[in-house]
Amino acid sequence: MRWILAAALLSATPLHAGVPEALARIGKGYQTFAAATADLDTAAQASCEGLKPAFDTAWDAWLHVAQIRIGPVEDDGRALAIAFWPDPKALGAKAQRALLTGDPAALDPERFAEHSVAARGFSGLERLLFPDAALPADPCPLIRATTHDLARMAAGVNADWPAFSDKLAYPGGPGNTTYLTDLEAAQALLTQLASALEFTADQRLGRPMGTFDQPRPERAEARASGRSLRNVVEVLKASRDMALDLHPEAPQTEAAFARALALVDRLDDPTLGSVATAQGRLKVEILQNAIREARAAILSEIAPTLGVGLGFNALDGD
């Protein structure tokens, strides 16, 4: 990895400042994610009890790279399956009920990989480890199938990343029509950051906030495992780090992230349940605004310095 980056720095096309650092961080993040999901799977195959620590470590590792929605995570619907949320029609729970009570052969690894993305990944695992109602059957076989599937996907992403990373590192290189210039590579990474922050503000906080008259605390992500706020924190830290990789001298961006993280520290509300009260909801709304300001700072400070715009992202539809 390091050797490849060094070679790139010597090549004819100079890499855009910050892009190699960001790519290196992502690569390292995928390695950690692959290792953490492998550990989780090893633990689950040994026992379906006491998985919370390994589950938390693995989910944290995912959140450190979850903002990247280009490259191998997009193959075979991996990113969708790894963390399928939100799921307003409860498609995941429905598919899992069928798996819990159906033919055990459906849990074989090859077949499991073909199942609906809603039934798999961290969201699926959370419903089995922290059920809100009695499950119709012993969940252990499905837990093991799910951790195995997660580790398989993470290993695949990790294995496939270097080839994709090279496309960003060597824009316009032989056979690389995905990214033609260093500006396009930098813009692609910046766009990922911006949309991750948009998703966090609009969905991770916006969904439980609901409306002033009708807050929806039950809609928070990862509520059952008590990780709703932690997911926000991990995304914020990872986004800050990558933003500063792209451009280290970004005082407005740094300050905006520091402010958002300080607000998180004061919340002391792991499941965001406080949105149910007017005062609690207001505090979450202030955090939501702070996250939007961090995104705005990236766009107003880092983007023009890099000379790039904002590309299209998965949130552009309705």
Partner 1 sequence: MKRLLAAALATSALTATPLMAADPAAVVTTYADIAAAAYGDSLTTAQALQAAVAALIAAPSDSTLAAARTAWIAARVPYQQTEVFRFGNAIVDDWEGRVNSWPLDEGLIDYVAPDTATNEENDLAALNVIATPKFTLSGVEIDATEITPDFISGILHEADGIEANVASGYHAIEFLLWGQDLNGTGPGAGNRPYTDYAAGDACTHGNCDRRAAYLKAATDLLVRDLEDMAAAWAKGGEGRDAVLADPQAGLLTMLTGMGSLSYGEQAGERMKLGLMLNDPEEEHDCFSDNTHNSHYYDGLGIRNVYLGRYTRVDGSIVSGPSLSDLVAARDAGVDAELKGDLDASVKALKAIVTAAEGGLAYDMMLEPGNAQGEALIMGAVDALVKQTGAIERAVATLGLSKIAFEGSESLDNPGAVFK
Asked whether 161 and 125 are in contact (CB, 8 A), the reply is no
The first and second tokens of residue 278, run together, are 């007017």
Sole binder of partner 1 in the list 214, 251, 268, 279 (CB under 8 A) = 214
The residue count for binding partner 1 (CB under 8 A) is 40
Interface with partner 1, residue 279, by CB under 8 A = no
Interface with partner 1, residue 163, by CB under 8 A = no
Interface with partner 1, residue 304, by CB under 8 A = yes
- Minimum distance from CB of 70 to partner 1 (Å)? 10
Sole binder of partner 1 in the list 11, 101, 277, 300 (CB under 8 A) = 300
Sole binder of partner 1 in the list 64, 115, 167, 223 (CB under 8 A) = 115
* Of 200, 231, 214, the residue nearest 276 (C-alpha): 214
Separation of alpha carbons 224 and 276, rounded Å: 17
43 or 119: whose CB is closer to partner 1? 119
Interface with partner 1, residue 286, by CB under 8 A = no
167 or 283: whose CB is closer to partner 1? 167
* Of 215, 240, 232, the residue nearest 269 (C-alpha): 232
Interface with partner 1, residue 216, by CB under 8 A = yes
* Of 70, 69, 61, the residue nearest 32 (C-alpha): 61
* Of 92, 75, 229, the residue nearest 157 (C-alpha): 75
The DSSP string of 4-58 is HHHHHHHSSSPPPTTHHHHHHHHHHHHHHHHHHHHHHHHHHHH-SSS-HHHHHHH
Interface with partner 1, residue 251, by CB under 8 A = no
The residues binding partner 1 (CB under 8 A) are 77, 80-81, 88-91, 94, 114-118, 178, 180, 183-184, 187, 211, 214, 216, 219, 252, 293, 296, 299-301, 303-304, 309-318
